[in-house]
Structure 1
Amino acid sequence: MQLRDALDDYKRNAGDDRLFAGERRTVTGRFTGGDGRLVHVDPDGGLRDFGYPLTGGSGLSRSRFGLAVHGDVTWFEASRSRQRYVDDTPLVETVHETDRATVRRYDLTVGDAHLTRATVDPAPDAGLDADDFVLVAYAAFAPDGRDERVGQLRYDDAVEVYHADEHDFLASATGLADLRGQLPPTFPEVLDDAPMDLPRDRGAARYEEERLSGEVVIEAPFEGGTTTVGTLLTDGSETPCEEARGRLSTLFAELDSPEALADAAADTVPTVSASTPERESVVADLRVLSLLSAESGLRIAGPDFDPHYQHSGGYGYTWFRDDAEIATFLLESDDRLGLGLDDWHARSAEMYVETQRPDGSWPHRVWPRNGALAPGWANARIEDGPDVDYQADQTGSVIAFLARARGAGVDVDELDRTLVDALASLDSTLADDGRPVVCQNAWEDSGGRFTHTAATFLEAYGALARHGDGLVDDADRFGGDPAAHARRRAREVYDALDDLWVPDRGRYALRETVHGDLDDRIDSATLALASAHRAYDALGDDGRVGNDESPGAGGVDDERLDRLVSHVDRVVDGLTRETDAVSGLFRYEGDGWRRGDQPVEKVWTVSTAWGAHACGELSALLAARDDPRAERFAERARDLLGIVSPDGPLCEPTGYLPEQFFDDGTPDSATPLGWPHAIRLATVGLLDAHDLLAVEPVPADD
């Protein structure tokens, strides 16, 4: 998103009660991608690239499509359009209605190329043939992230826009009936109070604006009622112009029908069996996680709707907490649902090995395309600062995944060495009292000694103890047996959690503050205690190791189990928000982020999905002991899962889970957000594995 675009949005939306001015929102529309670029298709048909973190290509900063006949242009409108995904694929179909014709278009990203195939059907009373129309496309490119010092090269069948390294191509399968350029908004236009309606005509255009600009308007004629427009992002030093134009021509020829586009799209997402439980939800989750993934296997948290950091710290990066949690959920889901994600697990493990710091930890944020350090604010371990500016739970989350991946047979170079070094790093942030040191929290908005961080440590130590047989420490830091050391550490953390129990509130505190006081607010992140205790319980108290579905008895004692039951009950009850338009859990008591004019906390999909998963984990833990409370938590898990499921109030018609919702039902922030999609997927697998997804109806009396 260029600054001119952000300022234009600011003019349009400053003062809005539900919109944060200066952002590029994706709460409507659908993404296509999964094999390179990530392109958003707005309901009005406009395209915009969001894939810079995934590929390094900036591409389209904005665009607009319309239909022209005899020089009269009608721009497509969201209010007169409808949109869907084709089958299980990331192929987007949008139908635009105009007074003169209906246009049905298909949008698909294939690697670094994007195709828009359109067919036109004249209105019966229009008195026009299909080939009387032309498809008009306005496209503003920002090669190398620049919208100035940009130039064009023009050919018979294409236009090339370039700055230095990145060269972006625009072409049509039916040729270019017209092509013109224009400069971006001028300084007076940017400073004017009124927003701009682009593209615009210039009566007295300067001659150079046709060439010194990333903005073009083309007209693509329909032939037989069909035309295809394509864009391609390239590295000019690696892809000569003739090769780029040839690739687009090949794609035009090969993907010349909706069926061919659908077949190509199907190759970018895993195939989901017809018998998979909650199949619509599973398909949507895998599609989203595929869209957000780079070729490396690392994922962005979500599409970066706020790249100028006006209302957030950005989303188009890989956080090792989020990414490793997603990787763990995918590993568990694959095991339970048979999704065939072996390549996904291996790529994640390889990148975690590659990006580990010399001290055994992982940095705050990296670029997913190559694992290079990205802008962040929690890099104390790189800066040699105090751990308060470090998020220790990230390293714990990576350990938990890598240990489980090792147990599942994922075999990548240096995995064992990485785990042993990570264990030493985790130890360095564990205080003598058995709890993590002062650091930043999962929500990245405060410091202290957090219950969630302790839960992450418990799960990491437990997973490594269970799956660490045969690990060797060349530095002899763990008495020759890292797995046994991890088991002892797990017990220390387990015991130390008692320090965070708040008896009069019947639950665990959010944190111990830097001043040593207990902050006893309710925090949805503390729901991580459920899965952490289940991981610990799998070890057993006598050294025996059980398995995921039938953990060794005795690891979690009766008093702790009662506390877990009380804690999960009170967290879910205390964070539940229900209005006429929305239902779910908010993040924590006193959360003031992105409220706008809303006086109370907003509902979060992550928190709601986390609640569902925690209730499912606790139900499984109770069921292993034949505890009758298991069914009550299974019911709570189903209810919360329903809220984030495709027909639930927190799931958009696109199948996407936005990060947040206002109480009036308005979605906000990163959309789709990968983390809740992974939790939703894992919860389906967890409940299905324990036959808890559905309840058999009670037969009616005769």
Structure 2
Amino acid sequence: MQLRDALDDYKRHAGHGRLFAGERRTVEGRFTGGDGRLVHVAPDGGLRDFGYPLTGKSGLTRSRFGLAVDGDVTWFEADRSRQRYVDDTPLVETVHETDRATVRRYDLAVDDAHLTRAVVEPASDADLDADDFALVAYAAFAPDGRDERVGQLRYDDAVEVYHADEHDFLASATGLDDLRGQLPPTFPEVLDDAPMDLPRDRDAARYDEERLSGEVVVEAPFEDGAATLGTLLSDGLETPREAARSRLDALFAELDSREALTAAAADTTPAVPASVPERGSVVADLRVLSLLSAETGLRIAGPDFDPHYQHSGGYGYTWFRDDAEISTFLLESDDRLGLELDDWHVRSAEMYVETQRPDGSWPHRVWPRNGALAPGWANARIEDGPDVDYQADQTGSVIAFLARARGAGVEVDGLDATLVDALASLDSTLADDGRPVACQNAWEDSVGRFTHTTATFLEAYGALARHGRGLEDDADRFGDDPAVHARDRAREVYDALDDLWLPDRGRYALRETVHGDLDDRLDSATLALASAHRAYDAIEDGEADGRGAVDDERLDRLVSHVERVVDGLTRETDEISGLFRYEGDGWRRGDQPVEKVWTVSTAWGAHACGELAALLDARDDPRAERFAERARELLGLVSPDGPLCEPTGYLPEQFFDDGTPDSATPLGWPHAIRLATVGLLDAHDTLAADPAPADD
């Protein structure tokens, strides 16, 4: 998003109670991608690239499509269009209605290219043939992220827009009837109070307008009722212009029908067996996680709707907390649902090994396309600062995944050494009292000694104790087997959790503050205690009495905690129902006086109740079914028919009380939690429906 676009949006939405001015929103429309580029198709058919973090190329910053007859252009409108995904694929179908014709178009990103194929059907009273029309496109490119110092090269059927390294192509399968350029909004236009209506008419007085910009307007004629426009983002050195144009020509020839586009799209996402429970939800989750993934396997948190950091710190990066949690959920889901995601697990493990720092930790944020350090505010372990500006839970989350991946048979060079170094790093941030030192929290908005961070340590040590047998510590840092050391540390953390218990509230505190007080607010992140205790319970594969490592008193506390947190954070209005993030959360409220509901928190509640149900069920505890039912209720809120899921199948990060979605959409983390909860509850229901046979 260029600054001119952000300022134009500011003019349109400043002072709005539900929209934050200067953002490029994706709460409506659908994405296509999963194999390189990430392209948003707005309800009116406009295209915009969001894939810079995944590919390093900026591409389209805005666009607009319409239909022309004899030079008279009708631009497509959102309120006269409808949109859907074709089958289980990321192929987007948008149907545009105009007074003269209906246009059915298909959008698909294929690696570094994107195709828009349109089929026109004249209205019965229009007295026009299909080939009387032309597909009109206004497209603004920003090669190398620049919207100035840009030039064009033109051909009979294409235009090339370039700055230095990045060269962006727009081509037509049927040639071009017209091609013109225009400069971006001028300084007076930017400073004017009124927003811009683009594209403008041609300015004959500006001789350089036609060539020195990234903005073009083209008309592609329909032939046999069809027209196809393609864009391709390339590196000018790696992909010469002849090769780029040839690639687009080949795609035009190969993907010349809806069927061909659907087949190509199907190759970019995993196939989901028909027998999988809640199949529609699973398909949507895997599609989203595929869309957000770079070729490396690392994922952005969500499409970066706020690249100028006006209302957030950006979303187009890889956080190791989110990414490793997603990887763990995928590993669990694959095991339970048979999704055949082996390649995904290997790619994730390889990148975690590659991006580990020399001290055994992982940095705050990295670019998913190559693992390079990205802008962030929690890099104390790279700087010379104290650990308060470090998010220790991120390293814990990576350890938990890598240990489980090792146990599942994932083989990656350097995995064992990475786990041993990570264990030493985790130890370095564990205080003598058995809890993590003061650091930043999962929500990245405060400092202290958090219950959530403690939970991630318990889960990391527990997973490594169970799946780390045979690890070798060449530096002899632990004095015994690393897995044994991890088991002992897990017990220390387990015991130290008592320090955070609030007996008068029947739950755990949010944190111990830097002043030594217990912060007694409710926090959905503390729901991580459920999966952490289940990991701890499995360390020994059952103690002598077969009841696992979690004792009865702790289990009762866990039951009380999960119940009180879920109940206390639940918000119900006429439009939505779900969990808000924590008591006193003031972020992105707009004009709403109370906290907003978060899909992450709601999905987390469902998963925590499911994990607790499994823990109780292993003890034949009758409370198990109560928590399984609560898990189903919460899962329903984020399921495709639930109030927190958009018609696109996407889970936005947040909702206002009136049902208005907000922030990053789709957000990968709740999609992964939803996926894992489906598998978790299916496993629970299977056990409940098919109990073990009685002894003879």
Q: Structure 1 length normalisation: TM-score?
A: 0.97
Which of 568, 576, 592 aligns to 1:598? It is: 592
- The whole-number CA distance in structure 1 between the counterparts of 2:360 and 2:240 is 42
Letter in 1 for 2:153: L
Residue 672 (structure 2) aligned to one of 671, 678, 691: 678
Within-5 A mapping of 1:326-341: 326-341=326-341
Matched with 1:508 is: 508
Return the offset for 1:100: 0.4
Whole-angstrom distance in 1 between the partners of 2:287 and 2:355? 26
1:578 to 568, 572, 579: 572
Alignment check: 8 A CA contact 1:537 1:551 kept = no
Report the 3-state secondary structure (helix = DSSP H, G, I; strand = E; otherwise coil) of the residue aligned with 1:89.
coil
**Alignment partner of 2:669: what SS?**
helix
Are 2:558 and 1:564 equivalent residues in the alignment? yes
The code of the aligned residue for 1:16 comes to H
- Does structure 2 retain, via aligned residues, the 8 Å contact 1:638–1:693? no
SS in 2 for 1:636: helix
Match in the other structure for 1:168: 168
- Please report how far the alpha carbon of residue 156 of structure 1 lies from its aligned counterpart in structure 2 after TM superposition: 1.1
Equivalent position of 2:115 in the other structure: 115
Which whole-Å CA distance do the structure 2 matches of 1:258 and 1:203 have between them?
38
* Aligned residue identity for 2:57: G
Distance 1:374 1:97 in 2: 43
* CA displacement, residues 425-462 of structure 1 (integer Å, 9 cap, x when unaligned): 00000000000000000000000000000000000000
The residue type paired with residue 480 of structure 1 is D
> SS state of the match for residue 556, structure 1?
coil
> Hey, what's the Cα distance between the residues in 2 that align with 1:608 and 1:125?
51
2:205 paired residue number: 205
- Quote the residue 2:647 is aligned against: 653
| Counterpart in the other structure of 1:638 | 632
Deviations 1:28-81 (A, max 9, x none): 000000000000000000000000000001000000000010111000000000
Equivalent position of 2:694 in the other structure: none
CA-CA distance at 1:695 after TM superposition: 9.0
Aligned residue for 1:116, secondary structure, equals strand
Q: Is the 8 A contact 2:82 2:95 kept in 1?
A: yes
Q: Secondary structure of the equivalent of 1:332?
A: helix
Counterpart in 2 of 1:609?
A: 603
Assess, with a 3 A threshold, how the Cα gap between structure 1 residues 590 and 695 changes in structure 2: closer, same or farther: farther
Distance 1:580 1:480 in 2: 58
Q: What are structure 1's unaligned runs of at least 5 residues?
A: 697-702
> Is 1:545 the counterpart of 2:541 in the alignment?
yes
After superposition, give the CA deviation of every residue in 1:71-122 in whole Å (9 maximum; x if it has no partner).
1100000000000000000000000000000000000000000000000000
Matched, 1:93 2:93: yes
Instruction: Tell whether 2:554 aligns with 1:554.
Output: no
Deviation readout 1:188-241 (Å, 9 max, x if unpaired): 000000000000114443101100000000000000100000000000011111
Contact 1:38 1:49 in 2 (8 A): yes
Instruction: Name the counterpart of 1:487.
Output: 487
User: How far off its partner does 1:692 sit?
Assistant: 6.5
What are the equivalent positions in structure 2 for 1:87-486 lying under 5 Å apart? 87-486=87-486
- Secondary structure (helix, strand or coil) at the match of 1:181 reads strand
One-letter amino acid of the counterpart of residue 649, structure 1: P
Which residue of the partner structure matches residue 28 of structure 2? Answer: 28
Residue type of the alignment partner of 2:52: Y
Kindly state the Cα deviation for residue 350 of structure 1 after the two structures are TM-superposed.
0.2
Percent identical: 89
Give the letter for the 2:617 counterpart. Answer: A
Deviation at 1:691, TM superposition (A): 1.2
Following the alignment from structure 1 to structure 2, what is the Cα–Cα distance between the partners of residues 183 and 692? Answer: 62
Give the CA deviation at 1:571.
Answer: 0.2
Aligned to 1:627: 621
**In 1, are the aligned partners of 2:541 and 2:548 still within 8 Å (CA)?**
no
What root-mean-square deviation, in Å, do the aligned CA atoms of Structure 1 and Structure 2 show? 1.3
* 2:676 pairs with 1:668: no
Classify the secondary structure of the residue corresponding to 2:209.
helix
Judged with a 3 Å threshold, the aligned counterparts in structure 2 of structure 1 residues 193 and 623 are, in CA distance, closer, same or farther, namely same
* 2:578–2:634 Cα contact (<8 Å) kept: yes
Asked if the contact 2:59–2:233 (Cα under 8 Å) also holds between the matched residues in 1, the reply is yes
User: Equivalents in 2 of 1:436, 1:203: separation in Å?
Assistant: 64
CA–CA distance in structure 2, aligned partners of residues 546 and 340 of structure 1? 29
Q: What CA deviation, in whole Å up to 9, does each residue of 1:279-310 have, x standing for no partner?
A: 00000000000000000000000000000000
Indicate conservation of the 8 Å contact 2:538/2:548, yes or no: no
Q: TM-score, normalised by structure 2?
A: 0.98
Match of 2:681 in 1: 687
Residue deviations 1:299-348 (CA, integer Å, cap 9, x gap):
00000000000000000000000000000000000000000000000000
- Show the counterpart of 1:62: 62
Conserved? CA contact 2:54–2:368, under 8 Å:
yes
Query: Against the structure 1 CA distance between its residues 582 and 695, is the aligned structure 2 distance closer, same or farther, given a 3 Å change threshold?
Result: farther
The alpha-carbon distance between structure 1 residues 256 and 319, as it changes in their structure 2 partners (threshold 3 A), is same
1:629-667 per-residue CA deviation (whole Å, 9 max, x = no partner) reads: 000000000000000000000000000000000000000
Helix, strand or coil at the partner of 1:209: coil
Q: Give the SS at the match of 1:411.
A: coil
2:19 aligns with 19
Matched, 1:71 2:71: yes
Contact 1:472 1:480 in 2 (8 A): no
User: How far did 1:157 drift?
Assistant: 1.4
Partners of 1:473 and 1:204 in 2: CA distance: 73
Gaps of 5+ in 2: 691-696
Structure 1 residues 546 and 69: CA distance shift in structure 2, 3 A? farther
